[in-house]
Amino acid sequence: MKTVYIVRKEHFNAAHKLWRKDWTAEKNEEVFGKCANKNWHGHNFNIFVTVKGIPNPETGFVINLKDLSAIIKKEVVERFDHKNLNLDVPEMNGILASTENLIMKIWELLESPIDLAGGTLAKIRLEETENNFVEYFGGKEPY
Amino acid sequence: MKTVYIVRKEHFNAAHKLWRKDWTAEKNEEVFGKCANKNWHGHNFNIFVTVKGIPNPETGFVINLKDLSAIIKKEVVERFDHKNLNLDVPEMNGILASTENLIMKIWELLESPIDLAGGTLAKIRLEETENNFVEYFGGKEPY
Amino acid sequence: MKTVYIVRKEHFNAAHKLWRKDWTAEKNEEVFGKCANKNWHGHNFNIFVTVKGIPNPETGFVINLKDLSAIIKKEVVERFDHKNLNLDVPEMNGILASTENLIMKIWELLESPIDLAGGTLAKIRLEETENNFVEYFGGKEPY
Amino acid sequence: MKTVYIVRKEHFNAAHKLWRKDWTAEKNEEVFGKCANKNWHGHNFNIFVTVKGIPNPETGFVINLKDLSAIIKKEVVERFDHKNLNLDVPEMNGILASTENLIMKIWELLESPIDLAGGTLAKIRLEETENNFVEYFGGKEPY
Amino acid sequence: MKTVYIVRKEHFNAAHKLWRKDWTAEKNEEVFGKCANKNWHGHNFNIFVTVKGIPNPETGFVINLKDLSAIIKKEVVERFDHKNLNLDVPEMNGILASTENLIMKIWELLESPIDLAGGTLAKIRLEETENNFVEYFGGKEPY
Amino acid sequence: MKTVYIVRKEHFNAAHKLWRKDWTAEKNEEVFGKCANKNWHGHNFNIFVTVKGIPNPETGFVINLKDLSAIIKKEVVERFDHKNLNLDVPEMNGILASTENLIMKIWELLESPIDLAGGTLAKIRLEETENNFVEYFGGKEPY
C-alpha cells in the first residue's frame, strides 16, 4: 500500500486589511502595522493543494488533476479572485483576514469536495508573498 | 566610453480597481472585467529600475546601489506600499490605475532624483503578476 | 507621444526532436546531440509576447490583456500545447523544430491578429528551459 | 542524535503520453485529456531527492552532494533525459507514465544506491510543471 | 485545537570554505572538492523559518511576522550577512561550515527567542543554491 | 535577413569584497558598506549570454548551444567558480570587483571565442542577487 501525494497550484489576486473595529486606530496600527491601512492593500496569493492516496491502477492517478483543478477553481478561485476578502466573501464575515484564518477556512471549503472526488486532502500551502506563507495539515502536527 | 546598465528590484503590495465613473457598471465590467470589482482587489508588484552610465573609475559603480535603493524606496515604495492606488496616492488622482499609467507616473517620480544622484534612468519594468507586466523607456522606442 | 511595452506570458508543453532525414544518424547525433533522440523528447515552453503602443486615454491600456491573452491562446497555445511540433503542427512542416525557427514562425502567426486588435507586436521571448531561450524582434537588431 | 535532511535538485526533459491500449480513443481522451495526444507531448521535469541522516562529525555531511548528484544522474537523468518515457525506458514498460507511477519507480531506482553511499532516502519530489507535481515518502504517510 | 504553520523567508550573503587543518590539501580537495578552495568562495543563502502554533483568536496570528522577521534578522542575518562563516562568526568557531552544521547552529540561535515570542520553532530550510539545500526539524524525524 | 537572439544561462559561486587599499577603512565602509567586510563575503552569480545571428538554414541554429555553453564554461565558469574574485583571478588583478567591472571583463573574455564559433556576442546579464544585477551591450546604448 503505497501512498503518493499530488499537488496542484492555483492563484488568486485579492484585497484585504487587518483591522479590529473594537480596537482604536492606534492599537490596530501597533499590532497590524501597514496591514491596517484603512483603504486596503492586496496580494497575489498562490495556493498549493496536496491530495494523498494510493494511485488507481487503471489510471495511475491519485486524483485526476483536471478534477482537482476544477474543485480549487470552484471553491477558492471563484470565491476570492479579484475580490475584497473582508467585504466580498461571506465565508470570511466576522473573521480577521490573516493568512492563518484564511487557510483554515479554505481547508473547510476543499475537504468535502476532494473527498467526494475520491482523494484525501493532506496539506494546503498559501503564499501571500514569496517571503510570507502558511501551511496547514487540517490542524494536525506532523512535526 | 563604455555604458553599463545596473538594475535594482524592489516591491510593494497595493490594492486598486479599474473603473470609470462616467461609464455604467456594465461598460466598466465589459472593458475591465474582474479588475472592475467595486470593492477593490490587489497585487504584489515588483519593480525593476535600470540606470545607465559609465562606471566611476574610483568606485567601479554606475550608481551606488544603496543610493538607488533609497531613491526607489522613498519615491515609490513609501508612496504605494500597503496603499490603495486609487484612494491613497495623490499622484494617481484622476488617473486610471492601469499598469501602463502607473509606470509612466513612476518614471516621472524617479527621473530627477536619479539624475541628481549622478545616474540616468534608462528603463523601468513593473510586474503586476508573473504573467502580466509593462516596460517603459521614458516613451522612447528602442525596438 | 509615450510608447509603453506590455507583456503577457503563456505556456505550452510539447514534444519535438531535431533531425534531418537527409543526414545519417551519426551526423544528426553529432550536430543535434541528445535532441536527435528518434523517439522524441519534450519541454515546458514559456512564451512572453510584448506589444507596444501609446496607452488609450480612455482605458489606460496599450492593448486589453484579455484580448492579447486570447490571441496568444488561439494562435499559439491551441496549436502547440500537448502536441508534437514535428508531426502535429502543419505550420512547422518541413521546418527544423529549433527554438529559432519556432519563434520566427510564432511571430508570423501573431503579427496580424495583434495588429487587428490595435497593438504592435514588438518582441517575443520563447523559453525552452530556464537555461535556454530565444528572443526575436521581427528580424530587427535593436542591439 | 540529530537527523538532518539534505536535498539535491536535478532535471530531465522527456516526452510521454497517457494512453491505455485496451481503451478506445474516446475513453483515453475522456480520462487523460490532452495528455492522450497520440504523437506525444513533453515536459521539463525537476526532481528533488531528500536524504536524511546524522551528519558525519569528520566531514559535516549527511552525504557528500557530489555522490548524491552522481547517483541521481546515473539512475535517473541518464535513463530519462531526452527520452520517451513510454518507448525508451525499459523500467517503465507496461506502466502508465503518470507522475505518480514515475515517482514510485524512481524511488526503487534510488533507494539502494543511496543506502550503499551511507544515506537514507527520505523523500522525492517530482515536478512535471510548476503547477503539477508529486511527492513520495516511500509509501509512508507522514501527514 | 488547530495547529497552523507560518513561514518567513530571509536571506544573507556569505563566504566560506570547507577545510580541515588536520588533513592534507589533497585529502581536503578529495573530500570537499571545489569547496576547499583556500581563498574562499560564497553564496546567496536563503533561510525559511517555520513556526507552529494555534492562531491567537484576537489577532488571527500564530506569531506576528514583524516579530518573527526581527528575530531572524537579529539572530541570523546580522550574524552571517556579508560575513565569512569561518572567520567572522564566533558561534561557528571550530565547526566545519557545511550547511548541515550551519542549520543545526541556526536552530540553537532561534529556538529560545521564538519561544519567548510565544511561538514554537518547527522547521528550518536553508538554501545554499537552488540545487542544494538542507531542512531540519530540531533533530526529529517526521519522515 | 532575420536576426534571432539566443540566450544561455550558466552560474558560478564566488567570494569577493569591495575595498580600495588607498582608502582608509572608514572611507571604504562609507562607500562600499557591508561589501567592504575585510574577510570577504560571496554570492551565487547567474550569467545570461546573448548571441545574435541569422539562423543557419541547415541546422536552424544561430549558434549550437553545446558550443555556447562550452565557451562560457571555459572562459567564465572555470575562471570564477568557487574562487575569490580578488585573489584567484589574474584578469581581475588591480580591478575593483564590482559587478560593473566584472561584466566588462567577461565581455572581453567571451567576445572572440563566440566570434570564432560563428556568432556575435550581443548582450550579457550578470546577476549578483535576485535584487541586484547588471546588463551590458559591449558599451553600446540601445536605450
Question: pLDDT tens digit string along B86-103?
Answer: 999 999 999 999 999 999
E89 touches E106 (CB < 8 A): no
Q: Is the pLDDT of residue D81 over 90?
A: yes
Q: What is the pLDDT of residue F134?
A: 98
List all residues 6 or more positions away from A134 whose beta carbon is below 8 Å from its beta carbon.
Answer: A99, A100, A102, A103, A125, A126, A128, E4, E5, E6, E7, E62
Interatomic CA distance for residues A78 and A104, integer angstroms: 17
CB contact under 8 A, C4 and B104: yes
Chain C / chain F CB contacts < 8 angstroms: 65
- Of C14, F60, A64, the residue nearest D44 (C-alpha): C14
- Nearest CB among A4, A64, A122 relative to D136 is that of A4
Q: How many residues does chain F have?
A: 143
**Tens of pLDDT, residues B20-56:** 999 999 999 999 999 999 999 999 999 999 999 999 9
- Of C18, C77, C15, the residue nearest D42 (C-alpha): C15
CA angle D63-D67-D69, nearest 5°?
105
**Tens of pLDDT, residues C54-103:** 999 999 999 999 999 999 999 999 999 999 999 999 999 999 999 999 99
Q: How confident is the model at residue E125 (pLDDT cuts 50, 70, 90)?
A: very high
Element of type H or E holding F112: helix F99-116
> How far does the CA of residue B134 sit from the closest CA of chain C (Å)?
4
Interatomic CA distance for residues C30 and C139, integer angstroms: 29
B51 touches B63 (CB < 8 A): yes
- Nearest CB among B11, B42, B44 relative to A40 is that of B42
Interatomic CA distance for residues C74 and A100, integer angstroms: 39
**Percent of the residues in chain A that have a pLDDT greater than 90, as a whole number:** 99
**Tens of pLDDT, residues D119-141:** 999 999 999 999 999 999 999 99
CATH class, range B4-136: alpha beta
**Tens of pLDDT, residues C24-49:** 999 999 999 999 999 999 999 999 99
Going by their DSSP bridges, the two strands C132-136 and E4-16 should be labelled as unpaired
Rg of the Cα atoms in chain C? 17
Taking the complete model, does pTM exceed 0.90, yes or no?
A: yes
CA angle D139-D141-E1, nearest 5°?
175
Q: What is the pLDDT of residue D64?
A: 97
Q: Is the pLDDT of residue F1 over 90?
A: no
- Taking only residues 34 to 63 of chain E, the set having a beta carbon closer than 8 angstroms to any beta carbon of chain D reads none
Interatomic CA distance for residues A134 and D129, integer angstroms: 22
Q: What is the pLDDT of residue F130?
A: 96
Best mutation target among E47, E48, E50, E61 (most A Cβ atoms within 10 Å) is E61
Interatomic CA distance for residues F105 and F93, integer angstroms: 11
F41 touches E15 (CB < 8 A): yes
- Of E9, E8, E14, E33, the residue nearest E88 (C-alpha): E14
B98 touches chain C (CB under 8 A): yes
Interatomic CA distance for residues D85 and D96, integer angstroms: 9
This complex has an ipTM of 0.97
Q: How confident is the model at residue E26 (pLDDT cuts 50, 70, 90)?
A: very high
CA angle A53-A58-A60, nearest 5°?
50
C139 touches F3 (CB < 8 A): yes
Q: How many beta carbons lie within 10 A of that of residue F82, not counting itself?
A: 21
Q: How confident is the model at residue A91 (pLDDT cuts 50, 70, 90)?
A: very high
Q: What does the pLDDT average to over F72-97?
A: 97
Among all residues of chain F, which has the CA nearest to that of C36? F59
Record the cell numbers describing residue E137, joined without a space.
Answer: 526539524
Q: What does the pLDDT average to over C108-132?
A: 98
Going by their DSSP bridges, the two strands B83-84 and B4-16 should be labelled as parallel
Q: Is the pLDDT of residue B1 over 80?
A: no
F100 touches B62 (CB < 8 A): yes
Provide the β-strand partners of residue E127.
Answer: E46, E133
Question: Which contacts of B52-57 are long-range, i.e. CB under 8 A and separated by 24 or more positions?
Answer: B52/B3, B52/B4, B52/B5, B52/B6, B52/B119, B52/B120, B52/B122, B52/F141, B53/B3, B53/B4, B53/B6, B53/B118, B53/B119, B53/B120, B54/B1, B54/B2, B54/B3, B54/B4, B55/B2, B55/B4, B55/F98, B55/F100, B55/F101, B55/F104
Interatomic CA distance for residues E9 and B44, integer angstroms: 16
Interatomic CA distance for residues C36 and C96, integer angstroms: 11
E69 touches chain F (CB under 8 A): no
Q: Is the pLDDT of residue E1 over 90?
A: no
Where do the domains of chain D lie? 4-136
- Of F116, F95, F106, the residue nearest F72 (C-alpha): F106
Among all residues of chain F, which has the CA nearest to that of B10? F131
Q: What is the pLDDT of residue C34?
A: 97
Record the cell numbers describing residue B79, joined without a space.
Answer: 508612496
